[in-house]
Structure 1
Amino acid sequence: MRDCFEARDPLRPVIPNPKPEMPPQSTPPRTPPRLPRPAHPYTPDPYLPHSGDARYSVTRYALDLDYTPRSNRLVGVATLSVRIVEATSAIRVDLIGLQVGKVRVNGNVHKQVVQRDRSVHVRFAAPLDAGDTLELAIEYAGRPGPTRSRWGLIGWEELENGALVASQPSGAPTWFPCNDRVDDRATYHVRVTCDREFFVDVTGVPGAVSTRGGKRTWTFTSDVPTATYLLAAHVGAYAEFPLGRARLITPPAQAARVQEAFAPVEQMLTVFERWFGAYPQDALSIVVCEEALEIPLEAQGMATFGVNHCAPSEQRLIAHELAHQWFGNSVGIARWQDIWLNEGFACYAEWIWSEASGGPSIAELAELHHMRLAALPQDLCLADPGPADMFDDRVYKRGALVLEALRRRLGAVLFEMLLQSWAEAQRHALVTTADFRAHAEALSPASLGDVWRDWLDGTALPELPPRV
């Protein structure tokens, strides 16, 4: 990522740099014990049983997109590098609301293709064996829009002056054909052509930007393993401004206000690197829309906020989304039922930042939220909350309280080693709750069985251990 500390007007837009530098490490990481990364089979996810196909995985996506904001028209070619996981004579690709044109397999037009409401089925004359590879190129077009889900509208959202993508957990197929599974992470190369007056930002490291006639083409590359729901895109009347080692993307008219509100980002990164190890992504974009958004949105190496999140009271949400770069985006869950490993850790990071920045301490915030949870229904099992409750605030806060219970059991020094060794040992890996239990048990001098039984597997809210 480019050096943003050179002398210049802080409100002057940054000219896109085709070769951004890597973000510096602000603190040298400690060297805690490293545990082996677990391997997880590709099995159907019961929380989203109709998303994705367990018979194959995608190692790389190449997306070549042409978008016209004024008509919300998207034309694209998605090229998927596919590896067959189990023997099959057909695969299903997720795609919602867009019309498929030609499909090619290994460069040849493929005729055995059937499109349904939410998927594209590609059949093969001869069965494919586990380990086989192929290149699948899908042409498609249409007017993208969000899809309805039990969690509301998700996916591509047309704005008054552009568009954004909010894909968690199953909205990625609203803008590109994909194997939409939380455990199928790939690398990406994305090329977006748009009207030249619009600014484009996509997950990944920005590359060359070229202009031809009334169009401008932007390129982005992500070489870290990324789940489909964490690939994001923004199109709008934006410009780029300096924000420490991050790229701040926002409309110029609100740049001064946004820079002031998001000034703590660099310090947050420094604090989190002390706790969790070096920043794990190859880029960091902070996108602040001119619209108000109900909640911020995390993506790989990116976080999106509405202009309403510039208020001082919203600072905890900035910390939350930054923490997801470690927990959720680097350390990724292998199944949706373990979402507390994303949200509980990010919520706990809010408390870390509060204490580090002179606000209420971790212990104080834990006790406050424990009191609030005690007044809510006691019918949620954190280790398996069910799809209807996977984004319930009780998952977030109870998940954070598990960590505070561990801190009070292990002591501050060993607990900090636990968090950092977990983030570093599982860097860009897939994990489950069982993996975290094993990791913590390996570091703990005594069994933690009662912690797991009471906090993760039970539904009644346990008491917090005494402060240490």
Structure 2
Amino acid sequence: MRRFHLLRTTSARAVPLLVVAALASNVGTASAANLTGIGDPNFPNIGSAAYDVSNYSIDLKFDPSSGRLSGTTTITAKAKQDLKAGTSIGFDFLLQTQSVLIQNKPAKYTLGKDKLAVTVPVNLAPGAEFTTVVAYNDIPSRVQNAAGARNWIENAGGALISNEPFSAEWWYPSNDHPTDKATYAISVLAPEDRDVLSTGVETSVTQTIPGWKRHNWLSKAPQMTYATFLAIGKYERSGQDAGTPARPNLNAYATDLDPTIRANAKSSIERTPEIVDWLASTLIPYPYEATGGVVDARMGGFALETQTRPTYTDGFFRRGKNDSVVVHENAHQWFGDSISVATWKDGWLNEGFASYMEYLWSEKNDTGSAAEIADYAYATSTRINWNVVLTDPGPADVLPAELYTRGALAIQALRSAINNDDVFFRLIREWLTKYQYGNAKVSDFIDMANAVTGRSTNALFKTWLTDKGKPAYKPTDATFDASAKRAPRSATPTPAKPKVWDDLYAVVTQKQ
């Protein structure tokens, strides 16, 4: 994610209470006995450890005239526990539910503030595959979660849902945590004069009802819930010619964008295939089946690494083109989407590396080396709160600005300490290969850094990730020996501002 500096908002939410009161149910209510979350320390009630999802098949209809969303989601999952008949399992969900089937049998359910509790009607042994079909009908723009957030954004033209760390619950029931990835089949019926955009590849557009069209999207690679988006409205499509049969590209721009902003956005978004190719050559092969980008003013103050097709607010392009944000969001396809956090304490693995890839893009284009950018950020760091612990920012804001700024400086410090780019980039590539399509913790990266370099990086990362206060030395002076003597900060003059700086930090300091 990348956010505007002045919009220090957060989509992180307060930990919701477990469901006990019924808002809707079929016959009877579900027990709350087995509704503990997946185990995230920041959001202990989010997700479920009872099952693992392999596929979401989402079949919806959206009517812009009323804002009503209706349809079904079929969830294919495997039981991770012994789920005997009468056991309750939870799905993260907010919308009014009409019915629930498990293995084609009606299931009792209770819809609470942030959780749909469902009573399993049949015995499910550990490892057993089962399907859950949830039918629902609601107006998502009127629905808020336990923290008061309304992440479904709507106007007269359509709707948009794209947010981090939580967005799925406004449009489909899920196991809403990065550790439970799944494939997706998304089918949405909308008025024929509206477009429907999502992740993956659009497999077909059909018209079976006069005045309406159904758009079908397919994501074949494992995908997190928050990396899945839905945009319904009027868009100008482009960029298809830049793709290949093996990796199609599709960009889209809301038709109500200011013409100058749209032109600025195009000058950067249309470079997505080129940027992805560069990232793949620097890292490892691109992990997904498609590329692209969507620009929409309704995004608010941020851009998001929705899988295969990042979503951007128009604000990034008000000053002109902005290749840096395109690099950042597409770097997340590796750092964040392919390798995802094990818990929401591990966000540095996403944001620090995506930000550092911007530094490397600048280095490639001679608009400032990574070392120059890092040292300038260190010298002019009035916007950085050096007391934020990057390995545990806390649930109030799991994606603070410091994950991006100080987070990238930590990576430059590591690169400087290694002092051998062959070793540094081998570490990055081995990291991306080992944990591809999986999840990892910050400690996993530190362990790999120790193994690949043959040195202990523990002290270095303690200084740059966990110690409170500004480090006593700039990133390019970093060594593996944290006790090494340094020149006083005052003895180091402020370096010249890199050419790319305004794209990186003057307008925007945060990315998702």
TM over 0.5: yes
Unmatched tracts of structure 1, length 5 or more: 1-41
Shift of the 185–156 alpha-carbon distance from structure 1 to 2, 3 Å rule, reads same
Tell me if 1:157 matches 2:153. yes
CA distance in 2 between partners of 1:362 and 1:222 (Å): 34
Q: Quote the offset at 1:296 in angstroms.
A: 1.2
**SS of residue paired to 1:312:** coil
* Structure 1 residues 36-185: aligned runs within 5 Å: 43-88=38-83, 89-96=87-94, 98-110=95-107, 112-124=108-120, 128-145=124-141, 147=144, 153=149, 155-185=151-181
The structural deviation recorded for 1:216 is 0.3
Tell me, yes or no, if structure 1 residue 333 matches structure 2 residue 331: no
Residue 409 of structure 1 is aligned with which of 403, 406, 417? 417
Q: d(CA) in 1 for partners of 2:298 and 2:163? A: 18
Q: Following TM superposition, by how much is the alpha carbon of 1:125 offset from its aligned partner in structure 2, in angstroms?
A: 5.3
1:318 — aligned with what?
A: 326
Deviations 1:178-228 (A, max 9, x none): 111121111111111110100111112110111131110011111111111
TM-score, normalization by structure 2: 0.78
2:226 maps to a residue whose letter is: Y
The reply to whether residue 241 of structure 1 matches residue 250 of structure 2 is: no
The residue correspondences of 1:384-403 to structure 2 (distance < 5 A) are: 384-403=392-411
Residues in 2 aligned to 1:455 and 1:265: alpha-carbon distance in whole angstroms:
32
SS at structure 1 position matched to 2:301: coil
Moved more, 75-84 or 246-255: 246-255
| SS of match in other structure, 2:279 | helix
Q: Which residue of 1 aligns with 2:269?
A: 262
2:407 counterpart SS class: helix
- The letter for the 1-side match of 2:169 is P
Are 2:161 and 2:231, in contact at CA under 8 Å, matched by a contact in 1? yes
The percent identity for this pair of structures is: 28
Aligned residue for 2:77, secondary structure, equals: strand
- The verdict on how the C-alpha distance between 1:286 and 1:435 changes in structure 2, with shifts beyond 3 A counting, is same
SS at match of 2:302: coil
Structure 2: 5+ residue runs without aligned partners? 1-36, 244-248, 480-512
Give the Cα separation in 2 of the matches to 1:116 and 1:275. Answer: 46
SS at match of 1:222: strand
Q: Secondary structure at the match of 1:155?
A: coil
Counterpart of 1:349 (choices 343, 347, 357) is 357
SS in 2 for 1:406: helix
Using the alignment, how far apart are the partners of 1:228 and 1:139 within structure 2?
19
Structure 1 residues 197 and 440: alpha-carbon distance in aligned structure 2, compared to 1, 3 A threshold:
same
Map Cα deviations across residues 116-145 of structure 1 (whole Å, 9 max, x no partner).
Answer: 122211113566432222110000011012
Moved more, 261-270 or 407-416: 261-270
Cα offset, 1:457, TM superposition: 3.1
Whether contact under 8 Å (1:58, 1:186) holds in the other structure is yes
Q: CA deviation at 1:153?
A: 3.6
1:214 paired with 2:211, answer yes
Taking only aligned residues, the RMSD between alpha carbons, in angstroms, comes to: 2.2
Residue of structure 2 in register with 1:460 after alignment: 469
Contact 2:202 2:216 in 1 (8 A): yes
Say if 2:186 and 2:217, in contact at 8 Å, map to a contact too. Answer: yes
Task: Give SS of 2:120's match.
Answer: strand
> What secondary structure, in the 3-state scheme, does the structure 2 residue paired with 1:440 have?
helix
Q: Which has a greater percent of strand?
A: 1
Match of 1:198?
Answer: 194
1:225-262: CA deviation from partner (whole Å, max 9, x where unpaired): 11111110111111321263331111457565542243
Q: Which amino acid aligns with 2:231?
A: H
Confirm or deny that 1:366 pairs with 2:374.
Answer: yes
Helix, strand or coil: the match of 1:338? coil
CA distance in structure 2 between the partners assigned to 1:353 and 1:154 by the alignment: 35
User: Equivalents in 2 of 1:454, 1:188: separation in Å?
Assistant: 41
Q: Which moved more, 1:229-238 or 1:310-319?
A: 310-319
Match of 1:424 in 2: 433
Matched, 1:281 2:292: no
Bigger shift: residues 82-91 or 57-66: 82-91
What SS does the aligned partner of 1:197 have?
coil
Q: Secondary structure at the match of 1:235?
A: strand
> What one-letter code is carried by the residue in structure 2 that aligns with 1:305?
Y
Q: Is the aligned partner of 1:223 residue 2:220?
A: yes
Question: Matches of 1:427 and 1:414 in 2, distance apart?
Answer: 20
- Report the alpha carbon displacement of residue 312 of structure 1 after superposing the two structures with TM: 3.2
CA distance in 2 between counterparts of 1:64 and 1:349 reads 37
Structure 1 residues 192 and 292: CA distance shift in structure 2, 3 A? closer
Q: Structure 1 residues 380 and 251, CA, compared in 2 at 3 Å: closer, same or farther?
A: closer
- Larger mean CA deviation between 252-261 and 42-51 belongs to 252-261
SS of 1:147 mapped into structure 2: coil
Whether the 8 Å contact between 1:200 and 1:236 is mirrored in structure 2 is: yes
CA contact (8 A) 1:241 1:249 kept: yes
Which one-letter code corresponds to 1:104 in the other structure? L
CA distance in 1, matches of 2:278, 2:344: 28
Q: From the superposition, tell whether residues 292 and 447 of structure 1 become closer, same or farther in structure 2 (CA, over 3 Å).
A: closer
In the alignment, what sits opposite 1:446?
455
The answer on whether the counterparts of 1:373 and 1:394 sit within 8 Å (CA) in structure 2 is: no
Deviations 1:1-27 (CA, angstroms, capped at 9, x unpaired): xxxxxxxxxxxxxxxxxxxxxxxxxxx
One-letter amino acid of the counterpart of residue 175, structure 2: N
1:362 to partner: Cα distance: 0.5
Does the 8 Å CA contact 1:281/1:301 hold for their aligned counterparts? Answer: yes
Contact 2:294 2:309 in 1 (8 A): yes
